[in-house]
Amino acid sequence: MSAYTSRARVLAAMNLQKPDQVPLMCQFSIGSMMQQLQPVPQDFWYDQKVFADGLIALRQMFHFDGILVSLHGHSPTWRSDVVKTEQDDEGNNVVHFKDRKEIHSLTELPMVKYHTPPPKADVSTLNVDELPDEIDYIPVSSDLYFKLDKKHLYDIFDYLHVQTGGAYSIHGEITSPFDYMLDLMGYENALIALILDPEKCHQILAHFTKGVKKIALGMCEKPIDAIKVSSPFAGMGFISPEHYTEYVLPYEREIALAVRAAGKHIYTHTCGHISDRLELMRDTGISGIECLDPEPVGNVDLEDAFARIGDTMFIKGNIDSVYSLLFADDAKAEDDVRKIIETGKRGKGFILSTACSIAPKVTKERLLMLSRMIERHGGYL
């Protein structure tokens, strides 16, 4: 029996060391978690215990070495804000609040419809000094926000640690200041503002960086090993390397250096095409990179990525969740994963994972294949 626990396995990889075998730790989409667990959807979204117990069950089900906590700060009194709950014609749960209704299903993120849509800020009239000092929400998706309960901001990490006995690597998640700015003004207007009013954009980014860093440092005081920075809009499809250097790198670097000074690892999740900015991402001071989507979803070649940045940071990826796990036949799926494992083993620090989140319709059998492939091909000599 191996002397390595799952947690030790992940820590070794993040420290650019080789444990007994390649660690396995994929990030789930909400849809994939729903499909596997079949919970009451709104309870899974809002209730800390339901969500945390689901994360534990998924880790056990698929033999992952770690748990990513994508939502935190759950309110224990969330039900008191619900006006009524009903079902629509498709069997989805429709949860009514005073300002909105949310459609919760077992296939995707909640769909939100506000009675009066919240306005987007105009960069020309925005007063940065009037923005709240503390961040109290996660901008999950367009018009979808997860409200953070400040009194229970980090409770889930203590709960998971107790329930798992510290045997597995627990990772928190924060959102890039760049994402907060895009959400504040609306994606299109914010991208235009980068060109028309760069000074105001820097003020906004500095403001959100302060708030995100405070949340991250609070996480660092909890029993976690690493923090993931969700930065999906920083790839080639949205901004140039020059804009990445100006508007993303310095602000994520400030957060990354603070987290690493607190003794925790930090890694960035950026989807899609990022081959032209791997070194720039490294220069933010992070410990590792997640995703590295291969073609056709992205443009990263894993062997090339290790050659360019693998000496100084770990790599977490890069299984194509769609074309390798969802649509491929068994032979192709296994061959794709085997090649990734063999390439990753040649690097200094590697964690086998889907590139982006697990697609909602990937089957249980296909996900179980990953741990079997680790058993067959993931051992270090």
What is the spatial distance between Cα 350 and Cα 15, in angstroms, rounded to a whole number? 10
pLDDT of 142 reads 86
pLDDT band (50, 70, 90) for residue 254: very high
Give the model confidence (pLDDT) of 190-205 as tens digits: 999 999 999 999 999 9
Give the model confidence (pLDDT) of 341-356 as tens digits: 999 999 999 999 999 9
Residue 276, CA atoms < 13 Å, CB-side half-sphere: 14
Give the model confidence (pLDDT) of 115-144 as tens digits: 999 899 999 999 999 999 999 999 999 889
- Tell whether the model's pLDDT for residue 297 goes beyond 60: yes
- Tell whether the model's pLDDT for residue 2 goes beyond 90: no
Q: In sequence order, what are the residues at sequence separation of 6 or more whose Cβ sits closer than 8 angstroms to the Cβ of residue 135?
A: 148, 180, 208, 211, 212, 214, 215
Instruction: Dihedral sign for Cα 117, 216, 107, 232, please.
Output: positive
pLDDT of 1 reads 55
Measured between alpha carbons, how far is residue 50 from residues 209, 216, 317, 374 in Å? 31, 23, 28, 29
Of 263, 360, 353, 345, the C-alpha closest to 306 is 345
